[in-house]
Amino acid sequence: MKKIIAFMLAGSLMIAFPLVFGGEKSNKMMTAERVMEETAVIVSKENPFYALIATPVALFYDTEMHVKPLLVQEFDNPSKPIQRPKDLYDVSDAIFINNESPAEASIRIAEMVWGQVNEAI
């Protein structure tokens, strides 16, 4: 049992060491060209990744804070609490994320928002 634990610990260290202490170090600053201002987004509650994908569209900071509503709703039967923000804020140009894979949604949104980036995380 001790050998198995030691083997697992050694394997974990071999994987973690280069990630923590190695890797490329760059003095370059990450730059990005945003081609879309903050925009309201309405996402389906069916996939939790939709809200994560939509967050940089509805909220971002540069020299100031840019915020628009990000609503999570059930598209087949929207609840009444979702209707109130729709009435209070202009969501006529909202982006909708529904019935697509997170990868497809992420690529579609990235192509809408970003013109050029020199790195991606």
Residue 42 lies in a domain: yes
Residue 17 lies in a domain: no
Range of 72's domain?
Answer: 32-117
Residue 10 lies in a domain: no
| pTM of the shown model | 0.69
Residue 14 lies in a domain: no
Q: Print pLDDT tens along the chain (121 aa).
A: 766 665 566 566 556 555 555 556 556 666 777 888 889 999 999 999 999 999 999 998 888 999 999 999 998 988 888 888 888 888 889 999 999 999 999 999 989 988 877 766 6
Q: What is the spatial order of strands in the sheet that 95-97 belongs to?
A: 70-73, 41-44, 95-97
Of the candidates 55, 32, 33, 25, the residue with the CA atom closest to the CA atom of residue 43: 55
Residue 5 lies in a domain: no
Query: Residue 102: helix, strand or coil by DSSP?
Result: helix
Q: Which helix (H) or strand (E) holds 61?
A: strand 59-61
Q: How many domains does the chain have?
A: 1
Residue 68 lies in a domain: yes
**Residues 6+ away with beta carbon under 8 Å from 20:** none
Residue 53 lies in a domain: yes
> How many helices, marked H, and strands, marked E, lie in the chain?
4, 7
Residue 112 lies in a domain: yes
